[in-house]
Amino acid sequence: MTAVDSPTTRPQAAGGVTVQKPAAQRPSRRRRHDALVPWLLTLPTLLVLALLLGRPLYRMIVLSFQNMRLRELLTGVAPPWVGFEQYQKALTDSTFWGVVGRTAAFTVVSVTVSVLAGLAVALLMRRVHRRVRLAMMIAMMFVWALPQLVAAQAFVWLTDSDFGVLNYLIDKIPGVDYANHSWFVNPWQGWTLITVLVVWAGIPFLAISLSAGLTQVPKELLEAATVDGATAWQALRNITLPILKPLLTIVTTLSVIWNFGLFTQVWVFRSGHPEPYFQTLATYSYTQAFGQSRYSYGSAIAVITVLLMLGVMVFYIRQMFKIGEVD
């Protein structure tokens, strides 16, 4: 079953007939005109991006060197220039470093668990009966289709301390008292729940992409290896994973980018008021700006966040070029 089929890689009809390029015979005036066409076509996109993405990006950087508070927002007075003060404030603040460490730790753990789980599910899908595989696909499709907010709210309800079904089920285990258990008193438990939600929501994309990738592993190769006495683990390590590597790299990178920006799940679980130990870089920047009216400080944190992610983004783009998707 190919869940992911790419319109870009459809086999082109290789006719063997070389079409003579008519462009070679055209007058040069037409060619000069042709050189302008692609730019005219991309102009609207570039304008939109410049105005609504480039400009805010520039303003965010400027803002991070100023001190914009509620007073400046309401009166329209130009905020004072303070140089690196906001950055200095962030970088010397242990709260900020706590947020950075927490976000990084969450990213590492959640991405590792998600990718391993996704891979396991993808491999499992190859071994099960056709009907079981269909059931797995259907379940994953529904999870994937669910809006992030709704998924998060569903989890809040499942883990409700009084009427949540999770506490009820855990309470059924002999010797465990989980009636009225509150999951967010202990930060470790709260973060476990957030991670479970993120992994649960992330598995469909990972498992379905990877299982599409697995169809590219030649069956003959695996069969030959098995006949030659390779164990399942050896076949996975030496045949399947090397073939899957480019795809694995891409989905892992994307997961890092997405999970590093964790916001919705925390926001919904904590009803818009995350306690200090549930703050991530995204929620921290947001609450500083829109909760405390420290627009400049929030911007400085956002700039630092983007800088921290830049390495991963560059890696992703290089990977896309390497794979040859971009030609």
Partner 1 sequence: MAARQDDGVLTVGRSRIGTIFANTGGVLFALVMIFPVYWVLNTAFKPRDEVMSFEPYFLPAHPTLDNFVSAIKAENFLSGLVNGLIITGLAVAAALVVGFLAALAIARFNFYGRRAIIMIILCVQLVPLLALLIPLFLMLQGWELTNSLIGVALVYLVLLLPYTVWTLRGFIAGIPKELDEAAMIDGCTRPQVFWRIILPLTGPGLVATAVYGFIQAWNEFIIINTLNSPAKQNLMAWLLQNQTERGTAWGPLMAGAIITSLPVVIFFLLIQRNIATGLTAGAVKG
- Beta carbon nearer to partner 1, 108 or 139: 139
- Write the Ramachandran bin of 129: left for phi over 0, alpha for psi from -120 to 50, otherwise beta: beta
Least separation in angstroms between residue 327's CB and partner 1 is: 9
User: Encoding tokens for residue 256?
Assistant: 């890092």
Candidates 254, 259, 222; CA nearest to 320 is 254
- Beta carbon nearer to partner 1, 57 or 109: 57
Least separation in angstroms between residue 38's CB and partner 1 is: 4
Least separation in angstroms between residue 170's CB and partner 1 is: 13
d(CA 240, CA 218): 9
User: Encoding tokens for residue 136?
Assistant: 């797995």
Least separation in angstroms between residue 114's CB and partner 1 is: 13
- Beta carbon nearer to partner 1, 191 or 268: 268
Least separation in angstroms between residue 109's CB and partner 1 is: 20
- Angstrom CA distances, 255 to 7, 155, 196, 260, 313, stand at 23, 21, 14, 8, 11
- Beta carbon nearer to partner 1, 10 or 29: 10
d(CA 279, CA 267): 9
- Beta carbon nearer to partner 1, 13 or 173: 13
Helix-helix angle 295-323:55-64, to 10 degrees: 130
- Write the Ramachandran bin of 16: left for phi over 0, alpha for psi from -120 to 50, otherwise beta: left
Least separation in angstroms between residue 163's CB and partner 1 is: 6
**Spatial contact of 291 and 81, defined as CB atoms under 8 Å apart:** no
